[in-house]
Every structure is written in structure tokens, then in C-alpha cells.
Structure 1
């Protein structure tokens, strides 16, 4: 799947990709968002 990896790499280097990455970093730094994500992943793991 080198095509998929190349497309992802190209996206992360684009201005839109950089904005998306920065937005995700800000959300990860927010304690409330981090708790929401932890709760969601816990529920997903519990269903298996």
C-alpha cells in the first residue's frame, strides 16, 4: 500500500493537513477532550 502512505504523507505536508494536525494537538492538550477520548475508547474496548 505505498500509494496510501504517499497520499497521507502528502496530506500532512499540505496547509490543510498542517491545520488538521495542529487542531488535533490542541484537542489532545485539553484535559476535558482527553477525558472524553479516554471514555470513548474504554466503551469501545468493553464491547468486544
Structure 2
């Protein structure tokens, strides 16, 4: 039985996995996505408080 890491490696080397990786890289370069992630991290760290 393949381990979880084996299944992940197999998926990432498949055509669908490569497409998803490319899409994730495009999202990561998008300034709007970066701002969303920074905002989420700030909230999780308690940096931004709501009144």
C-alpha cells in the first residue's frame, strides 16, 4: 500500500498535478492574494482587532 507521501509525489508529477501547481504559483504571485494572506495571518496572530 503506497504511503501518503508516495501518492502526493505521484499526483504532483501527473499532468493534473502540474497544472494545479502552476495555478497555485500564479495565485501566489498575485498582489491581491498576497494581501489576503497577510490579512489572514495578522488576524490569526491577533494583529488586527475588531471593535
TM-score (norm 2): 0.74
Q: Which segments of 5 or more consecutive residues in structure 1 lack a partner in the other structure?
A: none
The structure with more radius of gyration: 2
Runs ≥4 in structure 1, deviation > 3 angstroms? none
- Count of equivalent residues: 45
Higher relative helix content: 1
Q: C-alpha root-mean-square deviation of aligned residues, in Å?
A: 1.5
**Gaps spanning 5+ residues in structure 2: where?**
47-51
